[in-house]
Structure 1
């Protein structure tokens, strides 16, 4: 039986997370499935990479690690089955991604710093957005699809593949560009990345273009060069 650990960080207390957050509500819905467990950093003040890396190092009894934001509703009741199938084909799976990566690309979906969308021919996946579960779906392109970059809102990975390749998240990218950096490191190590049809709704559209995001972009370019 595939063992799945859902990993997330939240500024909420444990009670507030379980009763009031999108992910907390989703985990209650999924509690019927014994394959799924969770590891939540409550009242978190650390960057996401620190939380995620701790899970990579300490979840030896888990086959699959799912790194997901706390403002995500997992609408798919059959998440475990989806992931079990997806990780037969890929080492790292997301719900949205880009089949290519261009020089100085600032996000999986955007072609340049104007935040213009990349050509849809290269995009894959779909994510719903809204204030409630089962929101309106933004469909990017057919899936499954081999990808170079994946949206960090939801990343599922084979723990064994990450450990064998010695892939972790870079702590310098606390809340922005951690996903871009992670995907590039995984591809550099020869891991297979791809999208998979998994239904979820994200409450936020992201913080692209913010001051903190722009600073992180400079750090990202300093590390990778392009």
Structure 2
């Protein structure tokens, strides 16, 4: 019934998540682990390879650092994906994908819909549960790739873009965007509880892939299943844009690129104090002179 597809970096981690699935899924399944211990593939290519091998019509793309709490979750997935309007299913996502280069959480906590138990390296846990409507299933714009389920026919029509995304970031946001733009629903279920042992990382690779995503999807952003007033849209857009500029500055990206995003920030709200601070940082970067090396000699 369900093919579980894992881009695996660690055989022990793959065995552990496979054991967790076996104890809880409750329906016929298979595990397809794509060995990526040597970093041979980007995650898009690994997932496409795994999906091509799948014998079942339901596909579950998942990380190997998750564990399942809900017994019988396989049937719940099957029941939801029987609805042909649903293109992809997850457990955490955002109602609105902003125009700024941002991940699924860029819309802010108010517009996130989540049902995930985060486990941290020191052993403590935090439950992220945001479901103000109290629904079992909620439509969103994009979901997090820690666990994503689709019908095989959906993946066949809209496979992961391994040409653009050759690393490990924005594969999930882009997959959801493609599905959403073709009229299928992107959904979060609150009937399946999963624990996740990693919060991910926002590094230089993430920034490069954010830029790739924005360039590819520029004519399609922003989007989502909710309607926002113009003032609310500006408010939602400015925070992730400012965060992105900060990250570009810290990572030493070219000043011309940073200037483009600073200009976008100022257009959204010319008097915003944080945007004016970023403008000053950018100007300092732009006009910074190379430090002179002073040579001294002993008398």
Same fold, TM exceeding 0.5? yes
Structure number with higher relative contact order (C-alpha < 8 Å, ≥ 6 residues apart): 1
1:108 aligns with 2:94: no
Match of 2:49 among 46, 54, 58: 54
How far the C-alpha of 1:30 sits from its partner, in A, is 3.8
Q: Distance in 2 between matches of 1:170 and 1:140?
A: 30
* Residue segments in structure 1 that go unaligned for 5+ positions in a row: 112-117
Q: Which region of structure 1 is more displaced relative to structure 2, 182-191 or 131-140?
A: 131-140
Q: Secondary structure of the equivalent of 2:172?
A: helix
CA gap 1:218/1:200 in 2 versus in 1, 3 angstroms: same
| TM superposition score normalised by structure 2 | 0.64
Check if 1:93 corresponds to 2:89. Answer: yes
Q: SS of the residue aligned with 1:91?
A: strand
How do 1:154-165 residues align onto structure 2 when only pairs under 5 Å count? 154-163=147-156
- Are the counterparts in 2 of residues 96 and 124 from structure 1 also a CA contact under 8 Å? yes
Per-residue deviation, 1:55: 2.7
8 Å contact kept, 1:134–1:200: no
| Aligned partner of 1:196 among 167, 189, 194 | 189
Deviations 1:74-104 (A, max 9, x none): 2222111210122134221000112222212
User: Is residue 127 of structure 2 the alignment partner of residue 137 of structure 1?
Assistant: yes
Runs of 4+ in 1 over 3 A off after TM superposition: 131-136
- Asked if 1:73 corresponds to 2:67, the answer is yes
C-alpha distance in 2 between matches for 1:176 and 1:24: 24
Q: How many residues align?
A: 208
Larger radius of gyration: 2
